[in-house]
C-alpha cells in the first residue's frame, strides 16, 4: 500500500515537471522577444537622452556641439550608464552628428545594421526648425527679388511660389509668425508653439 502510494507520488511529480518544462519551452521565444524589445526601447531612450543633453549643452554654452559621447560624459551631461547600446559589445559608442546650419542632432546606434529598429527618428522640433530655416531663406530671396522689405504675410510667399504651403505650418499645428522690424530692416520667424515646446526655436549658428 505504501509502495503504491509512493509510486503515484513520483508519477505526479513527473507530470508536474513535464508540464513545467513544456510551459518553459513554449514561453521561451516570448521571453526572448520581450528581452529584445526591451533592449531596443532602452537603446532608443539612450539616444533620445543623448540628443536632449546635446540640446541642453548647446543652449547652456551657446555653441555648436562637435564632440563625441566621451565629451558629454566628461562635461557631466550624460553618465557612463547611458553611453552604450544594451546589445553591446561593451566599448562601442553611439555616433553623433550635428548639422552646422540646422543644428539638427542625429544619433546613430553602433548596432544599427544588425538591429534595424535601433533608430532615433527626427521629431517635430527637427521638422519645425527645418521649416523655419526654409521660411528664412524664402523671405531673403523675396527681399532680393522684389528689392523691398517683406510685409510679414506668409500667404504671399506661398502664392508667389517661394515656399510650399506645407512648410508654413508647424508639424504640431499653427502658422509661423514673422515679426518684421521695419526700422532695422530685419525679421524673425517664430513657431507659434514655442512657449509650450521650448525646442521649437531656431537660433542662428554662432561662428566659433
Query: For binding to Zn ion (CB under 5 A), which residues are involved?
Result: 43, 85, 109, 111, 118, 128, 170, 191, 193, 200
Q: What is the DSSP letter of 178?
A: E
147-162 core/surface letters (b: 16 or more CB in 10 A; e: else): eeebeeebeebbeeeb
| Interatomic CA distance for residues 86 and 206, integer angstroms | 36
> Least distance from C-beta 88 to Zn ion, angstroms?
9
Grid coordinates standing for 164?
Answer: 510650399
13-36 core/surface letters (b: 16 or more CB in 10 A; e: else): eeeeeeeeeeeeeeeeeeeeeeee
> Least distance from C-beta 122 to Zn ion, angstroms?
13
> Least distance from C-beta 106 to Zn ion, angstroms?
14
> Least distance from C-beta 39 to Zn ion, angstroms?
7
Name the residue nearer to Zn ion (CB basis): 41 or 137.
Answer: 41
> Least distance from C-beta 178 to Zn ion, angstroms?
14
Name the residue nearer to Zn ion (CB basis): 75 or 172.
Answer: 172
189 three-class SS = strand
Name the residue nearer to Zn ion (CB basis): 21 or 174.
Answer: 174
The answer to whether 168 and 133 are in contact (CB under 8 A) is no
Name the residue nearer to Zn ion (CB basis): 41 or 145.
Answer: 41
| Interatomic CA distance for residues 97 and 100, integer angstroms | 9
> Least distance from C-beta 200 to Zn ion, angstroms?
3
Name the residue nearer to Zn ion (CB basis): 6 or 95.
Answer: 95
Name the residue nearer to Zn ion (CB basis): 147 or 196.
Answer: 196
What are the residues facing 175 on neighbouring strands? 169
| Interatomic CA distance for residues 70 and 91, integer angstroms | 11
Amino acid at each position: 500500500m505504501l509502495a503504491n502510494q509512493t509510486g503515484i507520488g513520483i508519477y505526479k511529480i513527473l507530470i508536474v515537471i513535464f508540464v513545467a518544462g513544456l510551459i518553459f519551452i513554449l514561453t521561451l521565444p516570448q521571453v526572448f522577444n520581450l528581452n529584445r524589445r526591451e533592449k531596443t526601447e532602452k537603446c532608443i531612450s539612450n539616444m533620445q537622452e543623448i540628443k536632449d543633453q546635446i540640446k541642453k549643452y548647446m543652449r547652456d554654452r551657446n555653441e555648436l556641439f562637435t564632440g563625441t559621447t566621451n565629451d558629454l560624459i566628461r562635461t557631466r551631461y550624460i553618465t557612463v550608464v547611458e553611453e552604450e547600446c544594451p546589445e553591446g559589445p561593451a566599448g562601442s559608442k553611439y555616433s553623433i552628428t550635428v548639422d552646422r546650419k540646422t543644428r539638427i542632432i542625429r544619433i546613430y546606434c553602433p548596432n544599427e545594421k544588425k538591429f534595424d529598429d535601433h533608430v532615433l527618428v527626427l521629431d517635430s522640433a527637427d521638422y519645425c526648425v527645418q521649416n523655419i530655416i526654409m521660411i528664412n531663406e524664402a523671405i531673403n530671396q523675396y527681399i532680393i527679388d522684389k528689392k523691398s522689405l517683406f510685409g510679414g504675410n506668409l500667404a504671399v510667399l506661398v502664392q508667389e511660389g517661394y515656399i510650399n504651403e506645407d512648410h508654413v505650418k508647424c508639424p504640431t499645428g499653427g502658422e509661423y509668425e514673422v515679426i518684421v522690424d521695419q526700422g532695422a530692416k530685419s525679421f524673425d520667424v517664430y513657431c507659434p508653439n514655442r512657449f509650450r515646446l521650448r525646442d521649437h526655436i531656431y537660433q542662428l549658428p554662432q561662428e566659433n
